Amino acid sequence: MKKLFLIGLTAIASCILLSSCASTSTAPKAPLDLTIIHMNDHHSSLDQRPLNIEWGGQTWVAEAGGVGRAVAMIKKLRKENSPELTLHAGDAVTGSLYYTRFGSKPDATWMTQVCFDAFTIGNHEFDHSDAGLKTFLDQLQTPSCKIPVLSANTQPKVGQSALTPKGPWDSFKPYTIVERQGEKIAIIGLTIANKTKNSSQPDPETQFFDETATAKRYVAELQQQGIEKIILLTHWGYQNDLALAKAVPAIDVIIGGDSHTLLGNFAEFGLDSKGPYPTIETNASGQPVCIAHAYQYALAVGELHVQFDGKGNVASCNGQPHMLLGDIKPEQGMVTTLEPVKNALEASGAFTFIAPDPATQTMIDGYAEKLSAFANEVVADVPQTICKQSVGEPRKPGCAAGISSGAHRVVAEAFLHAVPDADFAIQNGGGVRADIPAGPLSVKQIFEVLPFANTLVKLKITGAEFKQAMEQALTYAITPDGSFGAYPYGAGIQYSVNMQAPEGDRVSNLKVWDKATQSWQGIRPRQTYTMVTNSFIAGGQDGWRTLRTIALMGRATNTQIDYAQSLVDYARDIKVLKRPTEFATQAYQAAK
């Protein structure tokens, strides 16, 4: 007994002398002030674009965004703040003519010049399969900059996917750990699971796991390593981030993307802000979580200041997304000076007038010069804007009052023009990304309307199969993890839709235009029709599962006609694009 007592005294003495007792490891640390500079969803938008701003009772049009300004802003914020992290929350690529013609190289060039501290994979990074993503990720690794690429809930098939030739983390990691002022900070990446699997084009074997469960798993792993400061870099959308913050313990910050959400004090300038910047929630441990998004298309760069207390919890956070502006002018009329509007915008803290970074702009100008002759060709005149507006949503000012989307209808008509032996055409809502603007219509503008690398596919499909496919897509459109981009717009076909009915009964009054009789005929379940659509939904994406089954049965033919090129050719041939007056959707009842 005495021997055990002496051993205990010796252990206590050693602990005191060596200062290695467990109590010393939990002693409060010094607070840490960290600035997080962030972007998301820039979608290959290298160029600036016009932005309408309301001020002083009138509308102003500003040159806004572009990655040249984004890089300049990032450099400015880095110079003004230390320590800092620079993060990108995904969907860096696809969506512009630059990407269509040059792939991901222009985006990788400026991103490695910035050298982000972490980049999370977005759903559109998978638009050209695992192999296409691998090309982009390889471009993000240069001798001078190796960007950590993250996605904790993505698992390509090892030995089969280009992303994982040898192991599950060959091309990206679940998280990265950085040090700032001697403090370790973990950054976990999350990719929107269901949308990526069903609305992008990953390899069929690539799996995407539940976002919340994955976050909890890796937070626990990091806590076991003694890491107290944890950032989630998510591509899952603002509303999902709000729920995620409350469900997961021990997280401090969420930097998000996917939903193209504008946060901050922009409403007074006529811009649709969805909430405060940052938005503050409470995590499952009862501690605050700071949530920040930075809008879209390189229009804004976020600046988030986070103060951690000595226990590694968030003590406070504040900041501002900077809307990046160049020249500005009134939409109508003239003014003698621009100083009042510029001063008001800058004083708000929401807008920053900034010149593009010279080196980045030189790179962009080089690509723009290569595009110029092709992109600037005018192919048609558009007397009135032909708007992209979903069924079931309020009609936008300046747009037609019809039930459906004029832009989608024109696209479907272009498909039929390109494939004249087809009976009808279908274009999903998500594949059309912009209005067809009034005035001279250029090739560049058409590729902004249809920015993805889709081709036209012909399918031999029975009436019953088409109804089944459409019912599946409509279910996907109103599924919480689905996308209303699945909704069908067409030409040569008519239907009524009741989203309050159960699957199988949502579609009624299906009719196809009969070329022989020049009349509408009810669709026959057993009759085989020729349908033309884009390669995206022909592959079963956006819930159009039956179309993939038909393709696997050998009843699909890829025409190799680029879907945007079909609109170029159609516009060039008819010379004047007018607002359509007929639509596929004859009646629509929204879901409750």
- Report, as an integer, the average pLDDT of 296-321: 97
Is the model's pLDDT at 391 over the cut of 50? yes
CA 431 to CA 490: how far, in whole Å? Answer: 13
- Report, as an integer, the average pLDDT of 188-197: 95
Convert the pLDDT of each residue in 13-32 to its tens digit.
343 333 333 333 456 678 99
Q: Is residue 358 exposed (0-12), middle (13-18) or buried (19+ Cβ within 10 Å)?
A: exposed
- Report, as an integer, the average pLDDT of 237-256: 98
Instruction: Spell out the domain ranges in the chain.
Output: 28-369, 376-589
- Report, as an integer, the average pLDDT of 257-279: 96
Do 28-369 and 376-589 have matching folds?
Answer: no
Helices 105-114 and 129-139 cross at an angle (nearest 10°) of 40
**Better pLDDT: 127 or 407:** 407
DSSP per-residue letters across 334-386: --S-SHHHHHHHHHTSSEEE-PPPHHHHHHHHHHHHHHHHHHT-EEEEESS-B
pLDDT classification of 560: cutoffs 50, 70, 90: confident
Q: What is the pLDDT of residue 201?
A: 87
Q: What is the pLDDT of residue 27?
A: 60
Is the model's pLDDT at 373 over the cut of 80? yes
Q: What is the pLDDT of residue 26?
A: 54
Q: Which of 440, 481, 461 is nearest to 550 (CA)?
A: 461
Q: For 28-369, CATH number?
A: 3.60.21.10
* Structure token pair of residue 575: 């010379």
Convert the pLDDT of each residue in 442-477 to its tens digit.
999 999 999 888 889 999 999 999 999 999 999 999
Q: What is the pLDDT of residue 4?
A: 35
Q: What is the pLDDT of residue 28?
A: 67
- Order of strands, edge to edge, in the sheet holding 455-462? 488-491, 424-428, 528-534, 455-462, 556-562
Is the model's pLDDT at 6 over the cut of 90? no
pLDDT classification of 100: cutoffs 50, 70, 90: confident
Is the model's pLDDT at 423 over the cut of 50? yes
Is the model's pLDDT at 1 over the cut of 60? no
Q: For 376-589, CATH number?
A: 3.90.780.10
Average pLDDT, the chain: 93
